[in-house]
Amino acid sequence: MPTRSLAAVNVHILHYKWHFLGGVLFVVLSTLLTIFPAQLVRYSFDLVNEGIDLYHLYAGTQAQAGVYQLFGRNVLFYGMLIIALALLRGIFLFFMRQTLIVMSRLIENDQKNQIYQHYQSLPLSFYRRHSTGDLMSRISEDVGRVRMYLGPGIMYFLQLVVLFVLVVPLMLMVNVRLTLLTILPLPILSVAIFYINNLIEKKSDDIQKALAAMTTFTQEAFSGIRVLKSFVRQQDSLDNFTAATNEYKDKSLSLNFVNSLFFPLIMFVVGISTIVTVWIGGQEVINGTITTGTIAEFIIYVNLLTWPVTALGWTSSLVQRAEASQARINEFLDEKTDIVSRRNVAQEITGEIVFDHVSFTYPDTGIKALRDVSFRIQPGHTLAIIGNTGSGKSTVAALLCRLYDVSSGDIQVDGVDVRDYALTSLREQIGYVPQDVFLFSDSIRNNINFGLNHPDETRMAQAARDA
C-alpha cells in the first residue's frame, strides 16, 4: 500500500507503533463483533419460523402455551445478545479511532513542526524562489492529505482486509452460488469509486492551486496596502481578487457536482446486491437448500462489505493524493542550506569589519549586486553607504549577517571569516534593521524585545525612547 514517497512517514509510524498495533487489534475485534450479530440474526429468523410451526403443530393442546413461552424467551435472549454485541462493538470502534486516528493527528503535528523547523534553516534564496502561498500549502494542505492516508486510509484498508478474510469464507461455506452472485457488483463499485475519486483528486488539486494563488494575492495586497491606497488602485485590486475568488468558486462547484455522484452510486450498487440476494436466495429457500435466516444473514454481509469495498476505491485515491503531497513535502525537506559554518567559531565581537574584493550575484535571479567591493571599518567607527535603488546597499548588510554567501572575495569580522563563525553567535551580536519594516501580530513590547532571549524592561524602554 505505501509508495516510495510515503516511505518517509514510516519513521513516524514506528515512533507511534503502540498506537498502530493497538488500532490493528481493535479493528480485528470490532470486525468480529460485526460478523457475530449476522449469524445471530440467522438463528433468530430460523427460530421464529420453527417456533411458528411448532405453535401451530401443538394448537389446542396444553403444550402450545409452553412452546409460546420458550419461543418468547429465546427471541428475547437473542435480541439482548445482539444489543450487547453492538454495544461492545461500539466500545471497540471508539478505541480503534482513539488509536489510529489519534496516531494520524500526532504524526500530523510532528510533521508540521518538522517542516516549520526546516523552513527556518533554509537560506533567503529559497524564499525568493517560492511564494508564501506555496509554503503555506505544503505545511497545511499537503500535511493534511498525508494525515488522511495515515488515519482513515489505513483504518478502512485494515477493515476491508479483515472483513474479506472473515466474511467471504463464511458466505462460501453457506452457499457458493449465492455468494458469488451477491458480491459480483462490489468490485464494479470499487472500480467506479476509484475513477470518481481520481476525478475528485484532479479537481481538488485545481482547487488547491487556486487557493494558494488567492492566498498569495491576498497577503501581498494587505502587506502592500499603503502602496495600493497611495496609487488609488483599490478597485483594480478588488477586480483581481474577485477574478481569483470566482475561479476558486467555479472549481469548487465542479468538485461538488462530482461528489454528488458518490453516494447515489453506492446506494444503486447496494440495491442491486440486495435484490440479487433476495431473488436468488428466495429460489434457494423454495428448493430447500437454505433458510430465510440465511437470506437475512447475507443481506447483512452485503451491507457490511459495501462500505469497505467502496472505501477501497476511496482509499486508493487517498494514497495517490497523499503520495503526491508527501512528494511535495519531501521536495522541501530535501532542500539543504548552503549557509553552514566551516569552523563554528563562537567568540565575542569587538567590531572590526573588512570587505576584501567582495562580489555577489543573486543565485535565483542572476543579478550582479556587488562587484569587487573593498572597505575596512574599525571598532567604534561608523560607515554610511549611499546609492541609488538597487545599488547593493542592503546586500552589504545581508552579506555581513551571512544571509547569503559571497560569490567571490572575503568578509572578515575581527579577523575571522564570517563563514567560520557559528551562525547564531554571529547574528545575535549584530543589530540589523532592515529597510522593510515588519511588525509581528503581538504587543509593541514583544516586538521590541523580539531579539532577546531574556527581555529586560529597562532596555526595552530605552530602546523605545531611542527609536
- Residues carrying CATH 1.20.1560.10, the chain: 5-333
Edge-to-edge, what's the strand order for the sheet holding 353-361? Answer: 368-377, 353-361, 408-413, 416-417
pLDDT tens, 103-146? 999 999 999 999 999 888 888 778 878 877 788 888 888 898 89
For 339-436, CATH gives 3.40.50.300
How many whole angstroms separate alpha carbon 31 and alpha carbon 92?
9
Q: How far is CA 132 from CA 127, 255, 365, in A?
A: 8, 25, 18
Rounded (10°) CA dihedral 55, 61, 67, 68: 70
Looking at residue 52, its pLDDT comes to: 67
- β-bridge partners, 461: none
Chain-centre distance for alpha carbon 397: 39
- CA 175 centroid distance within chain: 43
pLDDT value of residue 55: 60
CB atoms within 10 A of CB 314: 22
Predicted confidence (pLDDT) per residue in 60-99, tens digit: 676 666 666 777 777 788 788 888 888 998 999 999 999 9
How far is residue 36's CA from residue 253's CA, in Å, rounded to a whole number?
43
Amino acid 58: pLDDT: 65
Q: Residues near 354 by Cβ (< 8 Å), separated by ≥ 6?
A: 375, 376, 377, 410, 411, 412, 413
Residue with cell 457490511: 304
Q: Is the Cα torsion angle 350, 351, 356, 361 positive or negative in sign?
A: positive
AA identity, residue 324:
A
Q: pLDDT at position 374, please?
A: 92
Q: Which fold has domain 5-333?
A: ABC transporter transmembrane region fold (1.20.1560)
The answer to whether 165 touches 304, Cβ cutoff 8 Å, is no
**What is the separation, in whole angstroms, between the first and last Cα of the chain?**
60
Those residues of the chain that have pLDDT short of 70 are 1-3, 50-60, 62-68, 310, 313, 467
Q: What is the pLDDT of residues 342-367, one digit of tens each?
A: 888 888 888 899 999 999 998 877 88
Residue with cell 444473514: 297
Where exactly does CATH 3.40.50.300 map onto the chain?
339-436
